């Protein structure tokens, strides 16, 4: 991974400096200026948010976008909001994170054998990105997939995150073993890597957003089951 690590670091720098969607840059800055009352004393990141995780990761996790007062505030994916709290606990229980919380940068959270990213790197108004914004951001996800040379399992959180990572994999030369997968919680499918030596398993999951967790659409046991399955698949590749 000696070559991939600097390449991913350089990609993260490009993400932070990205100006492909000036309307999103302006929105993130405005959120950082006005803030949420409970975070009034904090300095917001208010820029595109880079991915987190090692170049050697075998698990790729793709969400939708940074939350306005979550990652847009903290500067780290799935950090500082309820979605990050749910994800970090589930990852820790399956051995994919060092600690069971993701509150702020420097809190000890770090993925283990996992790389956490999103379909969009800026917080969108109403948490609803446009098709054009997602398309402008797509090259970053494709580059990450190309650089994660040990990738074996992909978890798509939410329909947009799942659909966008499927499209990115297709663009990177991965081929479906069967029909193109449809989104459904817990659904799995397989794709073969361009070198034809690796088989990749895709797992679809509901996103741990408040809309899903507060209504019971997604429960902690349901999310745990997703990452237990990822753990079983990865452990099997070591045999």
Q: What is the pLDDT of residues 144-199, one digit of tens each?
A: 999 999 999 999 999 999 999 999 999 999 999 988 899 999 999 999 999 877 89
Spatial distance between the Cα atoms of 229 and 139, rounded to a whole number of angstroms: 28
By residue count, the chain amounts to 239
Average pLDDT of the residues in 8-32: 97
2 alpha-carbon distance from chain centroid: 23
Average pLDDT of the residues in 97-126: 98
Across all residues in the chain, what is the average pLDDT?
96
Question: Tens of pLDDT along 57-84?
Answer: 999 999 999 999 999 999 999 999 999 9
Task: Show me where the domains of the chain are located.
Answer: 4-237
Output the pTM of the full model.
0.96
Spatial distance between the Cα atoms of 111 and 44, rounded to a whole number of angstroms: 23
pLDDT of residue 195: 83
Instruction: Report, at the CATH architecture level, how domain 4-237 is classified.
Output: 3-Layer(aba) Sandwich (3.40)
pLDDT of residue 3: 53
Q: How many helices (H) and strands (E) does the chain have?
A: 8, 6
Percent of the chain topping pLDDT 90: 92
């Amino acid at each position: 991974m000696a070559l991939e690590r600097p390449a991913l670091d350089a990609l993260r720098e490009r993400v932070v400096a990205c100006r492909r969607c000036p309307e999103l840059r302006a929105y993130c800055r405005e959120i950082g200026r006005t803030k949420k009352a409970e975070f009034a004393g904090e300095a917001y990141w208010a820029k595109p948010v880079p991915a987190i995780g090692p170049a050697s990761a075998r698990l790729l996790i793709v969400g939708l976008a940074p939350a306005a007062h979550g990652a847009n505030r903290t500067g780290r994916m799935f950090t500082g909001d309820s979605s990050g709290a749910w994800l970090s606990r589930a990852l820790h229980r399956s051995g994919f994170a060092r600690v069971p919380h993701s509150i702020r940068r420097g809190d000890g959270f770090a993925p283990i054998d996992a790389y956490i990213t999103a379909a969009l790197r800026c917080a969108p108004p109403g948490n609803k990105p446009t098709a054009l914004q997602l398309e402008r951001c797509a090259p970053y996800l494709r580059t990450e997939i190309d650089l994660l040379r040990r990738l074996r399992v992909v978890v798509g959180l939410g329909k947009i995150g799942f659909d966008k990572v499927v499209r990115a994999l297709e663009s990177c030369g991965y081929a479906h073993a069967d029909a193109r997968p449809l989104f459904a919680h817990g659904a799995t499918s397989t794709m073969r890597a361009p070198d034809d030596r690796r088989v990749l398993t895709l797992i679809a999951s509901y996103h741990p957003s408040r809309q899903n967790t507060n209504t019971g659409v997604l429960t902690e046991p349901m999310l745990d089951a997703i990452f237990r399955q990822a753990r079983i698949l990865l452990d099997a590749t070591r045999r």
